[in-house]
Amino acid sequence: MRADSRDPRAHDARWGRVEGARPPLPAWAPLAWWLASAVVLGVAIIAIVGGPGPLDDPDQGDQRPGFLIDADEARRVPGLALPGRPVGRRPVFVAFARRTPGRKAVRSILRRLPDGFAAVLVLPDDRAAGAQLPIVADPDRRIARAVGMDRPRDGGPPIGYAVIDQEARVRYATIDPTWPDQGFEVGLITKAAR
Amino acid sequence: MSVAAVRQPWAIAYRPLRLRGLLAQVVVLVAAEVGLFASYRGHEASFHWATHFLVGLSVATLVNLLWLVLKGAPARFQIVSILAAHLFAMFPDLLFSAGIPHDGWMDVFLAHISSHYVPGGAYTWLFVALALSALYAIFLSAWLTARRAEADAGMAPGIGLGGGSLVRPQASPATTVLAHRRRGPDRSPDVLLLHGLGASQELWATVATELEANDRAVLVPDLLGFGASRTIGTEFHLDAHVAALGALLDHHDAGPLLVAGHSFGCAVAARLAEHDRARVRALVLVSPPVFRDGVQARARLGERGWLARRVLAGSPVASVACGAMCAVRHPAGSVVAALARDLPERVARDGVQHTWPAYRDALGALLDDNPLPSAIADPPIPTTVVLGDADPETPARDVLDWPHEQVEVVEVAGADHLLPLRHPGEIVAAIEARLL
């Protein structure tokens, strides 16, 4: 259909003089929208992310990455001495803590470990007792260094865990102050490393 | 059906900006993100939510920005696209929940692994997201300003315009005359030369020079939306071209003159003769696209190349490709000039000096509003048709097989579609014969 130029409606349509020809938003709207969104988002992100806590990894990207280190690139720790569970004979879950975790949480973690996995709890000293898994004291952080545990922000002993496969390769090592509550994650990582 | 109802392309372009739709999207986005955040927080992984949300926001904003630049109009679902991008970015976390640990290949999901290792972490992504969204807001605001100015100037808003026209209002053809060149003596023009699709006045340079040598006053414009006139007008149907040419002829107090058109320019010339018979004393139609029906029109126009085929198919790829060309118009002109070595450099460069709506509407006019078949079968004024017998785009037989007894036909042996460039002498002879 071709508009007849003598039709005033056609003229209006051609030159835009009809309802709807102007944009439905004023030109300042996107900038105002952006400003409001930027303030809300900025505050929200600062509140949510904050900074790493004293027990967290200084580099948050290294904390709980969720993927195993490639077998070819993983550090080998065949000589690492852990009580009763020679590394390299079976996969080992090595948990690091500053004090003995609650029995319920530990029981939950142990239940998640695949069959054949050994578990060891590394504490800064040997005063702790009452855990449901072997405890080894690491006052000089020899074990933490051997498996590549980062230092937390407060510079104290690490809280987290490492997973050593049956070839004595460290496939996973992360600072994680919440590890006793991360049964699903620990189960998934240990299962993948088996 | 009212005229206004059929001519409101801006109604579609404005749909993504309706406040109600935007607010509905905000509600969906906020509700979904609160739920996702709660889920991450439950796993003590709030900063993972933040990183992937901000990456998703950055990518969605970039896509919306590219859409605006390439399509010349805002995208639909701009706000929920942030949620879509976030869900895509966090997909490996869903796999993790299903028992699949992360792996390096999962970077395909918007750098799901690597994004955590950017220096500064989530704060860097916050900066990137805010910078990109600020850029988008500035562009959108400038686009709104330009479209508002066009509407206020009495024009339809320029939807689909690329390049600088994205953020700069088009000049009104009611107040700005077409870019043009005057040749020959300073008197009322004897000849008006109209170029075709994807061309400019440069196409007529040799013909105009020869006519000038014959003491003819020649007016050679760039048609609305083409060449140096690409910053004029927002609508490019034949009537808009005729109105703009009328303003140009008024500007030069032009009396009755001969109008010569090439290809699409023939359609404009024929419509001008229909509208203003007193002003057009004769027509010379060079390589006119005379299509018997839509099927033949599509077949012939499709021979103009890939872009024309995409336009005819109604493919959005066409507008995106044209928008990309607009964004890099100057270097694109150099590339075309380097590739089309058989054309004069200025003609080749001007091959990209047009807007997408101008190209689209010109093709659309040839499909749906082509005045040439009737202008040749029943010419209102003395008319000569010049044809090349080796022209694949507008074959001579299209005219010769059509009733053409009332027009004079000149067939140039061995000539292709670009008759004004390759055979200017024959064109000048045809024009001079009509001027005598």
> What phi and psi values does residue B183 have, to the nearest 5 degrees?
-125, 150
Name the residue ranges covered by the structural domains of chain B. Answer: 3-158, 180-435
Nearest CA in chain B to A182: B43
What's the CA gap between A158 and B258, in Å, rounded?
91
Residue B27 predicted with pLDDT over 90: yes
Q: What is the mean pLDDT of residues B334-357?
A: 88
User: For A60-193, CATH number?
Assistant: 3.40.30.10
pLDDT for the residue numbered B396: 94
pLDDT for the residue numbered B230: 93
**CATH for B180-435, options being 1.20.1250.20, 1.10.287.610, 3.40.50.1820, 3.40.50.1370:** 3.40.50.1820
Q: Both tokens of residue B51?
A: 């990183």
Looking at every residue in chain B, the average pLDDT score rounds to 92
pLDDT for the residue numbered B171: 95
pLDDT for the residue numbered B367: 86
Contact B99 A18 (CB under 8 A): no
Nearest CA in chain A to B149: A22
Chain A residues inside the 8 Å CB shell of B18: 24
Nearest-CA distance A40 → chain B (Å): 11
Nearest-CA distance B134 → chain A (Å): 6
pLDDT for the residue numbered A66: 92
B139-152 per-position pLDDT tens digit: 999 999 999 999 98
pLDDT for the residue numbered B142: 97
Residues paired with B408 in a beta bridge: B384
B208-255 per-position pLDDT tens digit: 999 999 999 999 999 999 999 999 999 999 999 999 999 999 999 999
A105-129 per-position pLDDT tens digit: 888 999 999 998 999 999 988 666 6
Contact B6 A37 (CB under 8 A): no
Instruction: Give the residue from B165, B169, B194, B145 showing the smallest Cα distance to B322.
Output: B165
Query: pLDDT tier at B5 (50, 70, 90 boundaries)?
Result: very low
Q: For A94-98, A150-154, B191-195, B362-366, which range has the lowest pLDDT when averaged over its residues?
A: B362-366
B269-316 per-position pLDDT tens digit: 999 999 999 999 999 999 999 988 878 888 888 877 787 788 788 788
Q: What is the mean pLDDT of residues B185-202?
A: 95
Residue indicated by tokens 């609305």: B224
Contact B126 A45 (CB under 8 A): yes
B51-66 per-position pLDDT tens digit: 999 999 999 999 999 9
Higher-confidence position of A14 and B345:
B345
What's the CA gap between B260 and B258, in Å, rounded?
7
Residue B95 predicted with pLDDT over 90: yes
pLDDT for the residue numbered A8: 43
Residue to substitute from B140, B167, B168, interface A, most A β-carbons within 10 A: B140
What's the CA gap between B168 and B164, in Å, rounded?
6
Buried b (16+ CB within 10 A) or exposed e, B38-48: eebeebbbbbb
B101-139 per-position pLDDT tens digit: 999 999 999 999 999 999 988 999 999 999 999 999 999
Query: Block means of pLDDT (10 residues each) for chain A, length 194 residues?
Result: 41 49 93 97 90 88 91 89 75 93 88 91 77 83 93 94 94 95 94 88
pLDDT for the residue numbered A85: 63
What's the CA gap between A72 and A92, in Å, rounded?
18
What's the CA gap between A21 and A33, in Å, rounded?
23
The counts of H helices and E strands in chain A are: 5, 5
pLDDT for the residue numbered B114: 94
B379-433 per-position pLDDT tens digit: 999 999 999 999 988 999 999 999 999 999 999 999 999 999 999 999 999 999 9
Contact A21 B156 (CB under 8 A): yes
Instruction: Give the residue from B25, B46, B71 showing the smallest Cα distance to A33.
Output: B25
Instruction: Give the residue from B255, B256, B262, B290 showing the smallest Cα distance to B400.
Output: B290
Query: pLDDT tier at B12 (50, 70, 90 boundaries)?
Result: confident
What's the CA gap between B143 and B84, in Å, rounded?
25
- Distances from the Cα of A88 to the Cαs of A160, A193, B307, B345, in angstroms? 21, 13, 65, 74
DSSP string, B295-347: HHHHHHHHTT-HHHHHHHTT-HHHHHHHHHHHHTHHHHHHHHHHH-TTS-HHH
**How many CB atoms are located within 10 Å of the residue B349 CB?**
21
Chain B residues inside the 8 Å CB shell of A181: 44
Nearest CA in chain A to B12: A20
| Cross-chain CB nearest to B14 (options A24, A31, A48) | A24
- Distances from the Cα of B294 to the Cαs of A35, B185, B307, in angstroms? 51, 43, 18
Contact B152 A22 (CB under 8 A): yes
